[in-house]
Amino acid sequence: MGDEAFPTTTVAEAYLALLRERGIRRLFVNAGTDFAPLAEAYARADKAGLRLPEIVIVPHESVAMGMAHGAYLVNGEPQAVMLHTSVGSANAVMGIMNAARDRVPILLTAGRTPLFEAGALGARNGQIHWAQEMYDQAGMFREMLKWDYELRDGLQLETVVDRMIGLAMSEPRGPIYLTLPREVLAKPLDGFRPQRAGVVVASDPAPSPEAVERLADLLAGARFPVIVASAAGVQPGAVAALEDLAGRFGIGIVENAPRVVNASSEHPCHLGYGTLSVTDEADVLCFVECDVPWIPAMGEPRPETTIVQCGVDPMFDRYPIRHHRADLVVSGAPRQLFEAVAAALEGRQGGIEPGRAQRVVAAASERRARRAASLAAHASGSAGITKGFLNWALHEVRQPEDIVVDEYWARSDTLSSTVPGTEFHNPPTGGLGWGVPAAVGVQLASPGRTVFATVGDGAYLFANPPACHQVMASSGLPVITVVCNNGRWGAVEGSTRAMYPDGLTVAAGSTPLATLDRSHAFELYATATGGHGERVAERDELVPALRRAVAAAREGRHVVLNVLSDE
């Protein structure tokens, strides 16, 4: 808390200055008529000496939401987005769903239709100000929010701002929504002075000592214990804590449908990817931040296997239906859980079966050898450009520190990432169009890093390519977008064939409702905005094209590789 008041004259200026004071460094905006007090605040900022968040202008709301999502994944800081009233908020609904299920703390703010028809500064002065008003603007997505509110007056400004940041950043994290009436933003507020030192965020939840003791007993007494993680690596320090726990006590690590790097693929106890790959061996399966630990229709752990489910919200109480069996459920943040269990196991070393660590390490080594053989098979094949070959080519070109933001074809078992924070996969909702905007946000928060967006043609179309590449060009964000252009909706085709393996779809060789036109020249989206674009149709063209893409990105140019895939 500073001794001097902010040099503000309006609630809008005080709101923006307070955001910056509370650590919000940038504001993603797609503006409308409700932004007039904010525009005036930014116009006055330099002259008045106001420190406000950096503006990032984004020409579509879905792109703004994806960019904020991606930026948070990299730096762990809350991101702020402001949209235009009800209509802009409607365009952001899918992004809100993605953020909610991925526990991303986005401070989503929006104007609302002016409150008054006349008589106040900021009152209605446009034809749309009647039709755009809703009885409950936040109601269209309240189910996905942690909190929503409307700023009523400058008197409550600090309380509202601190509450929205504190709630968004407290576990389980998630998006909030605040509406800002134009008349309230326009009200006078001279010399605003914060009364508190900063935002209070709840401490990360720690597991109960009793639960830790029970879990330590289970892990110590197991012949082949395995920790399975999907999103544990989101928490800073969790990767190192998991690797330490597994290495010291001979516990296997599996990543199931990972959304981030949960452990180095080269860790001696890393057993690979997918719960079902270890169900024959594991006698204790400890799931950490796994919303879907296994898909019952595709196979389940053995009945005699002990199941433990852990996380900040291990019951996933916002999911209407989710019933995966458990013998023990432990609430706690991943890093705190791993550290507490490691401490508890120190006193149980004598009860751990001799040779267990060697058994786990040998199994992990054998699986790594199989992965390497699979990679070699993709490299030496002649079946055209398959998704397997795409993964091999990316693996050949990518450096360990390069970041991959995936929405379709990049596979963790092929990428074999070793550095935390270098691999991000789409949120569990699967709201299409997330990948490219998220990669742009990742690039914004990771200047100087090479960032790949790996998407399909369908996901690329959903991403609103003109808006994405306009932002890349205007903000100097050299994302490399690699489009697997197979001319179809793979998810639609795959689900249809899985449900009807003997059906007419399989017999016909094509899936109704799943066909796209493969002739679109996606690479022109990049060249139209000053970037580098290539069409890749032949197998031996792919690696050289990827190397040219990396070179162009290092020169500061965004890239699209339109790769014609055979599957």
pLDDT at 496: 81
Are 17 and 148 contained in the same domain?
A: yes
User: Quick check: pTM over 0.85?
Assistant: yes
Residue span of the structural domain in which 496 resides = 381-564
pLDDT band (50, 70, 90) for residue 25 = very high
Tell me what the mean pLDDT of segment 324-339 comes to. 98
Nearest in space to 332 (alpha carbons), one of 209, 168, 200, 250: 209
Does 533 lie in the same domain as 413?
yes
DSSP for 294-357, written as a single string: --GGG----TTSEEEEEESSTT-TTSSS-----SEEEES-HHHHHHHHHHHHHTTGGGSPTTHH
CA 154/CA 191 separation, integer angstroms = 12
SS3 call for 491 = helix
**DSSP H/E element including 480:** strand 480-485
pLDDT, tens only, 302-315: 999 999 999 999 99
**125, HSE (Cβ side, Cα atoms, 13 Å):** 10
Residue 1 has pLDDT above 70, yes or no: no
**pLDDT above 90 (res 489):** no
Q: Are residues 309 and 392 in the same domain?
A: no
CB within 8 A of 183, min separation 6: which ones? 114, 115, 116, 120, 121, 122, 123
Tell me whether residue 78 is in a domain.
yes
What's the structural domain count of the chain? 3
- Kindly report, residue by residue over 109-163, the tens digit of the pLDDT: 999 999 999 999 999 999 999 999 999 999 999 999 999 999 999 999 999 999 9
In the predicted model, is pLDDT for residue 3 greater than 80? no
Which DSSP state fits 154? G
Cβ contacts of residue 70 below 8 Å, gap of 6+? Answer: 405, 424, 437, 438, 439, 440, 441, 442, 443, 444, 445
Q: Is residue 58 in a domain?
A: yes
The average confidence (pLDDT) of the chain is: 94
- Residues 246 and 260: their CA atoms lie apart, in Å, by 18
* pLDDT for 518: 74
What's the whole-number mean pLDDT along residues 409-434? 95
Distance between CA atoms of residues 114 and 444, nearest Å: 33
- Boundary of a domain, candidates 137, 152, 185: 185
Same domain, yes or no: 391 and 437: yes
CA torsion sign, 319 to 324 to 329 to 331? negative
Instruction: Record the tokens describing residue 82, joined without a space.
Output: 């402001």
Does any domain span residue 272? Answer: yes
Q: How many residues appear in the chain? A: 567
Is there a single domain that holds both residue 244 and residue 121?
A: no
Question: Residues 377-399: pLDDT tens digits?
Answer: 888 877 789 999 999 999 999 99
Closest by alpha carbon to 562, among 471, 490, 474, 465? 465
Tell the burial category of 131 from Cβ atoms under 10 Å away from its Cβ (0-12, 13-18, 19+). Answer: exposed
User: Are 144 and 229 found together in one domain?
Assistant: no
pLDDT grade for 514, boundaries at 50, 70 and 90: low
Shared domain for 431 and 529, answered yes or no, is yes
Q: Which two tokens stand for residue 472?
A: 């890349």
Can you give the CATH number for the domain in which 447 is found? 3.40.50.970
Q: What is the DSSP string of 42-76?
A: HHHHHHHT---PEEEE-SSHHHHHHHHHHHHHHH-
Same domain, 126 and 266: no
Q: State residue 453 phi and psi, 5-degree precision.
A: -110, 115
Q: Is the separation of the CB atoms in 228 and 252 below 8 Å?
A: no
pLDDT for 348-362, tens place per residue? 999 999 999 999 999
Q: What is the mean predicted confidence (pLDDT) over 196-204?
A: 94
DSSP string for 397-417:
H--TT-EEEEESS--HHHH--
User: CB-based contacts of 487: which residues, under 8 Å, 6+ apart?
Assistant: 457, 515, 516, 517, 518
Residues 264-296, buried b or exposed e (16+ Cβ, 10 A)?
Answer: bbebbbbbbbbbebbbebbbbbbbbbbbbbbee
Least confident of 79-83, 283-287, 291-295, 376-380: 376-380
User: Is 231 found in the same domain as 164?
Assistant: no
CATH code of residue 286: 3.40.50.1220
